[in-house]
Amino acid sequence: MDIFCRYCGEPWEHDTLHEFGDYKKRAKLFAQLGCNALMNEGELTHVCDQATVNADVALASATLQDDSPFPDDWLGAEDLVCMMEGLQ
């Protein structure tokens, strides 16, 4: 399952958070920095500045990340976008 960058909407495999050996810290950084928390060995300290892949998913992901500190709760960004599109 994927989690998404709150800035550009880039999908990342949820398990990527485990690759750094500091899951809780990495999850918190991903919610703050987006992609940059997972790139370049996690050494970047500024927010993601990549080109936007999907603005709607980025917004949904930011909403989910703001609502919960638990990455398992962030997995529904694409579903949230689909639900919102269905309401229009």
Q: What is the pLDDT of residues 17-50, one digit of tens each?
A: 999 999 999 999 999 999 999 988 878 889 999 9
- Could you report the per-residue pLDDT of 47-76, keeping only the tens digit for each? 999 999 999 999 999 999 999 999 999 988
* Number of domains making up the chain: 1
Res. 83: pLDDT tops 90: no
Which residues constitute the domain of residue 32?
2-87
Radius of gyration of the chain (CA): 12
Q: For residue 52, what pLDDT is reported?
A: 96
